[in-house]
Amino acid sequence: MDELLDKAAAMANVEAHADALLALEGSAFTQDLRVTMARADLWRDLGRRHEALAAMRGVRERLGAAAIDPCTLFDLAELERLEGERAAARRTIASIRELHGAAAWTRANAAQLARVDGQLAAAEPVRAMSARDLLGNLRGAPDPAERLAALRALLDGHYGATAAAAAVRERAVAIAVGDAAEAVRLAGVVAWRFDAELARDFVALALVDTSPLVRRAAIAHADKLAPSAKVTLLSARLIQEDDADVFLALHDGLRRATGGGVAIAPLDIATSAGRAEVIARWRAVGFGKEAQ
């Protein structure tokens, strides 16, 4: 059991939440409470909060609220609030105070409990989602516009200039660049903060994206690489590129990296034959590598 849960946690840590769910659901322990809670966590992290909520309520029904720690009950109340079930959320908070009022967690978080309960009583909308739930929307919201909105909220810096905030931002960008929607991938690539250790792999991946807009955005990051690495990546892409605008951006990037290279006129890249001729001219000068 512990090995299964550790495996699922490790998968989630590398953004393989769906695989982690499959591992848990395909096990012989699907009725185990720890597996149920692990599945609820994964559903929440995938933005499937209604499924997480149903699973956590099932655990409460089986065990009773008195047997569940107050922190977990507050997570349940948060899910109820996010799903628009204000009365249910208030009842859950009341159960924390009634059944766990003497617990250390409850005493330490009394102000937060009071604040959330007051907001629920006043029917105030959720003004700011937690980073966890925004990441869940980014991973799993069916509408690309909703995923893009989640990414923008995560990038807005509402979480402070801390190591934790930096980690949230890094995770958000990593999720975004693998999104199915061009707009989300583009926003992720544009938002990426240069990391010398990861830069070459990041740029290489973005340069082969199916979207011309994403490939062009990658070239701006390539400008920060060492000239030799930049020339290697841009020249490899130039040979394959069939979009005229991206081809020109790659060509210009190579010229910046080499301090010269091949001069062309705009009409030279308007056709595939013209682009092939430009590539031949770059090859003739070794893609400017002698100038690095």
Nearest to 23 by CA among 47, 12, 14: 12
| 24 vs 208: CA distance, rounded Å | 34
Contact present, 215 and 238 (Cβ < 8 Å): no
Q: Which residue has the tokens 């958000």?
A: 172
| 178 vs 267: CA distance, rounded Å | 34
Q: What is the pLDDT of residue 159?
A: 61
| 251 vs 241: CA distance, rounded Å | 11
Return the SS3 of 158: coil
Domains parsed from the chain with CATH numbers: 2-121 (1.25.40.10), 136-193 (no CATH), 194-292 (no CATH)
Instruction: Give pTM, 2 decimals.
Output: 0.87
Q: What is the mean pLDDT of each run of 10 residues along the chain (292 residues)?
A: 90 94 86 92 96 96 96 97 96 97 96 96 89 96 96 80 82 96 98 91 96 97 92 95 95 89 79 91 78 43
Render 127-161 in DSSP notation, one character per residue.
-S--HHHHHHHHHH-SSHHHHHHHHHHHHTTTT-S
Long-range contacts of 232-241 (CB under 8 A, 24+ apart): 233/200, 233/203, 233/204, 233/207, 234/207, 235/282, 235/287, 237/207, 237/208, 238/279, 238/282, 239/279, 241/215, 241/275
In the structure encoding, which two tokens stand for residue 167, read together?
Answer: 């980690």
Contact present, 238 and 279 (Cβ < 8 Å): yes
What angle (nearest 5°) sits at the alpha carbon of residue 136, between those of residues 39 and 12?
Answer: 50
| 289 vs 254: CA distance, rounded Å | 10
Q: What is the pLDDT of residue 222?
A: 94
Q: What is the pLDDT of residue 10?
A: 95
Return the SS3 of 32: coil
| 233 vs 251: CA distance, rounded Å | 12
Contact present, 147 and 133 (Cβ < 8 Å): no
In the structure encoding, which two tokens stand for residue 230, read together?
Answer: 């930049």
Task: Count CB atoms within 10 A of the CB of residue 227.
Answer: 16
